[in-house]
Chains A and B, each alone.
Chain A
Amino acid sequence: MTAAIRTAATPRRVAAGWRRVLESIWFAVGFPLLLLVVWGIWATVAPQKFFPDPVTIIRAFVDTWIGPAFVEDVLPSLARLGVGIVLSIVVGVAAGTVIGLVRWMRELLEPTLEFFRAIPPPVLVPILMLIFGPQDATRVLVIVAGAVWPVLLNTIEGVRSTDSVMTETARSYALTFGERIRFLVLPAASPRIMAGVRQSLSVALILMVISEMFNNSEGLGYRITYFQTNYLIAQMWSGILLLGLVGVLLAAIFGFVERRVLAWYHGIKEVERA
């Protein structure tokens, strides 16, 4: 019975499989391709000064960024971004854990920290440049000064809302302080921490660009401004494209890390929903 069905169904299932693959390809790239084609046709039919066609932009992308410019402008920017993000996360989680665990400290510092979080980070750029001068370390500092707050405040919140039964269980099982942090507090806070990190990433990327648009002579942000002031339109678009790719890359890395770190959490949610 089952064998008969299986032999009968095989060809159709293969066809259905192909159809599904084609369908998902269509859903993945169909609409972007359609947009690009429309843009291309529009740009050739009615040439716009500021909207070159996609082919020109991609050609400019290859000419501009693949080569020495990658080492001179892109890599330093990305390095500063990376260092800034890592520092923000480390500082934010470390300080947030301490503040979150000690109640008087939390109550003492929370209003002040909320104020710092509320400051739109770009206004810190002129101040930090003033105090520390325009150098690499300052640009990293700018990124940290803006990106640390979401991680810090979310860590405080996450640590604070650790389940009290679990905290007491850990205490009565005589877990050492280090063990408690590692096996209870940090995992319990990790969904909140990751939510904070997600906010930090976009702030960090914005600040990387802004810190380079302020009196600077290298880096992605500077390059794009340079192209614009010199009316190199296609190159400018290629820079926007590159920043978009950096953003997508960051989001992809974050998604990958989040799925690994929070695998248990998503598992619980799934079970709860079912």
Chain B
Amino acid sequence: MTTARVAPPTRMRARRQTHRIRKVVLGVAGLLGFLATWQLIPALGIVDPRFLPPASEVLAQLGHQFVDLEFWRNVGRTLTTWGIGLLIATVAAVALGTVVGLVPYLRRLTHTTVEFLRPIPSVALIPLAILLFGFQVPAALLIVVYASFWQVFVQVLYGVADVDTVARDTARSFGLTRAERFRELVLPTALPYIMTGLRLAAAVALILTVTAELLIGIPGIGRVIVFARSAGDVTTVYVYVVVAGLLGLIVNLVFRVIERRALFWHQSVRGEDAA
């Protein structure tokens, strides 16, 4: 029994180590394989190189872009629109969601309205945004905020409603004030939900920021794609598509880290560490 308990950890750790190395090696191999396929498709003439430049060309151009200040400015513009939109949406959604979620009457009253407004694709609002704000950043913000608001709002509603009834009654009989109950009970319960909503909203906000840049012509990487395309500079189009993907990856990673940090005390995160 004791030997069985002593022996496995080192062996298991070693096995986990090899597993991790294998995973990284295979993952890198997969990416290289993808790049090789991309390189071969135009080289073999399956797709006209005028429409799909080889990977080497796109990556070389990407390298040049990294030392170009204008490239970083465009990335900055995109991230600024994205960040402001996400911030407005999150603050509004958390505030409104908490109020609506805590008052059962409001919750029932607004249910149908929310269920109707939520599925409206926010790109449908692009024409309205252009009419209201012209071809300016606020037009993009309207779309970004609309799309990401619902992601957070719905999660806050679930989260606030998820408070354990026993804990709530206990808090009440211990005479916690309303503010204390909110801080000690409602907020910790709702936080995992809010974080999930925030992570989803961050991805959605990026999609709609780029969409607004593509379709309205707000400055940023989306607009660069439109300009490059109409100028016939196909390589640049691909470069910025790759950049958009990288931004998406970074946003996902960053918000996953924020989620783990903010919820270090929560069962779901602690459980993962123990396993």
Interface residues of A (CB under 8 A from B): 27-32, 35, 50, 104, 107-112, 114-127, 130-131, 202-203, 205-206, 209-210, 213, 221, 224-225, 227-228, 233, 236-237, 239-240, 243-244, 247-248, 250-251
- Shortest CB distance B52–A (Å): 6
When A213-B126, A233-B131, A248-B115 are in contact, do A122 and B26 touch as well, CB less than 8 Å?
Answer: no
When A107-B26, A228-B131 are in contact, do A27 and B214 touch as well, CB less than 8 Å?
Answer: no
When A29-B112, A130-B237 are in contact, do A123 and B244 touch as well, CB less than 8 Å?
Answer: yes
Given contacts A123-B214, A130-B229, A247-B119, 6 further A-B contacts (CB under 8 A): A31-B110, A108-B29, A118-B249, A131-B47, A202-B121, A221-B123
Q: Classify the interface of chain A: helix, strand, loop or mixed.
A: helix
Closest residue on chain B to residue A126 by CB atoms: B229
| B34 on the A face (CB < 8 A) | yes
Chain A hits for B34, CB < 8 A: 112
Q: Classify the interface of chain B: helix, strand, loop or mixed.
A: helix
A236-B121 Cα distance, complex, nearest whole Å? 14
Residues B207 and A126 in contact, CB atoms below 8 Å apart: no
A213-B240 Cα distance, complex, nearest whole Å? 20
Closest residue on chain A to residue B244 by CB atoms: A123
Residues B248 and A119 in contact, CB atoms below 8 Å apart: yes
Interface residues on B, range: 35 or more
Top 5 A-B pairs ranked by shortest CB distance? A247-B119, A118-B248, A228-B127, A119-B245, A107-B26
Residues A118 and B245 in contact, CB atoms below 8 Å apart: yes
| B76 on the A face (CB < 8 A) | no
When A28-B112, A130-B51, A248-B115 are in contact, do A119 and B241 touch as well, CB less than 8 Å?
Answer: yes
Residues B127 and A225 in contact, CB atoms below 8 Å apart: yes
Chain B hits for A50, CB < 8 A: 128, 131-132
A213-B123 Cα distance, complex, nearest whole Å? 10
A119-B244 Cα distance, complex, nearest whole Å? 6
Residues B210 and A122 in contact, CB atoms below 8 Å apart: yes
A247-B121 Cα distance, complex, nearest whole Å? 7
A237-B118 Cα distance, complex, nearest whole Å? 17
| B111 on the A face (CB < 8 A) | yes
Chain B CB count within 10 A is highest, among A124, A127, A237, for: A127
Chain B hits for A225, CB < 8 A: 126-127
Q: Give B24-48 interface residues, CB cut-off 8 Å to A.
A: 26-31, 33-34, 47
Q: Give B185-244 interface residues, CB cut-off 8 Å to A.
A: 206-207, 210-211, 214-215, 222, 225-226, 229, 234, 237-238, 240-241, 244
Residues A122 and B245 in contact, CB atoms below 8 Å apart: no
